[in-house]
Amino acid sequence: MKKWFAVIGDPIAHSKSPNMHSAWFEELNIDAAYIPLHVTNESLESAVASLRTLGASGWNVTIPHKQTIMPFLDELDSLAEKMGAVNTVVSLPDGRLKGYNTDGAGFVHSLEEAIGKHKKEQDILLIGAGGAARGIAFALQEYGYHNLAITNRTVEKAEEIIRELGEGQALSIDEAEQSLDKFGIIIQSTSAGLANSDFKLPLALDKLQEGAIAADIVYNPLMTPFLLEAQKKNAQIVNGLGMFVHQGAISFNYWLGQYPNTNNMIKRLTAELNQLI
Ligand code: ATR
């Protein structure tokens, strides 16, 4: 029987996931469909029940349901449980629904695609302490990166993540700016630089190390003010598109046991996003 998948969220119309997964089904000759479903907070529980009843093989979960969906699932992957958020649901062969989180791992895959897997000893500075930062922090630890500092406007939120990780350091924005030259990898995980946002730069980059790696999770625009500034200081740039494509690829792999071609997808979406400029 034809398999079907979905992404649920509110808003959902602009999601790039349906096109991405549909292209991968075609490329890999998989008879499946992937549809965007507009699900409001009030209808989340009944939407999950409907997806279950109607036999979806799995689905992605996006804003604002990544946390609130958790009680409606039967099982959680341990990393998703630690992160406190789910972006992927798998319908297991016995019909149980299991939640995973592929966002943080998607980021690490994208980072390692750009810089290799041999830089685990580097000092890393993560800017931001929201949901996205939390996912990235736990995924970095899971993949063997242990020298992590987190800075955030509200430093208590950075301290909370560090406490849960059981390692690392929380820094005020001021402290992070002053000690920036110590970090080989800087990750921008706040909403700064998003198209249509007034919030441009989360911290001053005056002391950025030459040759440091600067990664952003925002991919629209591809070049955020943070990346432009870092590039001027001769940093190696990693934009947010790789994270988006790899989180999708990891979900795809959970559902279908195959890792789709991410390089072609990144090229294709880069071209699309460049046309928007
Ligand atoms: P997400 O799930 O995308 O991470 P979030 O959980 O709302 O979204 O987190 C947003 C992040 O961007 C937080 O680190 C937030 O800082 P605070 O914890 O201090 O709120 C950061 N952020 C958002 N707007 C900001 C602004 N104008 N100045 C500084 N930091 C900002």
Q: Is 200 designated active site?
A: no
pLDDT band at 269 (very low <50, low <70, confident <90, very high): very high
Return the ligand 1 atom nearest residue 153 CA. Answer: 19
112, pLDDT greater than 70: yes
Residue nearest to atom 9 of ligand 1 (CA): 130
- 94 pLDDT band, cuts 50/70/90, is very high
Mean pLDDT across the chain, nearest whole number? 96
Confidence of residue 275 (pLDDT cuts 50, 70, 90): confident
- Going by the DSSP 8-state scheme, the letter that residue 68 receives in this structure is T
Q: How far is the CA of 165 from the centre of ligand 1 (A)?
A: 19
Q: Is 173 in the pocket of ligand 1 (CB under 6 A)?
A: no
Same fold, 3-101+242-275 and 104-239: yes
Strands across the sheet containing 97-100: 32-38, 3-9, 58-61, 88-91, 97-100, 75-76
Quote the pTM value. 0.95
Check pLDDT > 90 for residue 20.
Answer: yes
What is the pLDDT at residue 1?
82
30 contacts 58 by C-beta, under 8 angstroms: no
pLDDT, position 213: 97
User: Each residue of 194-220: pLDDT tens digit?
Assistant: 888 889 899 999 999 999 999 999 999
d(CA 222, CA 234): 17
Report the pLDDT averaged over residues 74-85. 96
For 127-162, write each residue's pLDDT tens digit.
999 999 999 999 999 999 999 999 999 999 999 999
Using one digit for the tens of pLDDT, what is the confidence trace for 165-184? 999 999 999 999 999 999 99
Question: Which residue from 190, 194, 226, 243 has its CB within 8 A of the most atoms of ligand 1, so it is best to mutate?
Answer: 190
Q: Domain 3-101+242-275 carries which CATH code? A: 3.40.50.10860
Pocket flag, ligand 1, residue 128 (CB < 6 Å): yes
What percent of the chain is predicted at pLDDT more than 70? 100
pLDDT at 196: 82
Centroid of ligand 1 to alpha carbon of 191 (angstroms) = 6
Rounded to whole angstroms, the Cα distance separating 247 from 15 reads 14
Mutate to test the pocket of ligand 1, among 62, 153, 198 (most ligand atoms within 8 A of CB): 153
pLDDT confidence of residue 277: 61
Nearest CA owner, ligand 1 atom 8 = 130
261 C-alpha to ligand 1 centroid (Å): 32
- Tell me the domain boundaries of the chain: 3-101+242-275, 104-239
Ligand 1 midpoint to CA 70 (Å): 22
Can you list the alpha helix ranges (DSSP code H) found in the chain? Answer: 17-27, 44-53, 78-83, 103-115, 131-142, 155-165, 173-178, 225-232, 241-256, 262-276
**Calpha distance 25→23 (Å, rounded):** 6
Residue 197: the pLDDT is: 87
Phi and psi of 209, rounded to 5°? -65, 135
Mean pLDDT of 68-72: 98
Percent of the chain with pLDDT over 90: 93
Catalytic residue among 16, 66, 82, 98: 66
Pocket flag, ligand 1, residue 176 (CB < 6 Å): no
Rg for the chain (alpha carbons), in Å?
Answer: 19
State the CATH class of domain 104-239. alpha beta
Q: Ligand 1 atom 6: the closest Cα is on which residue?
A: 130
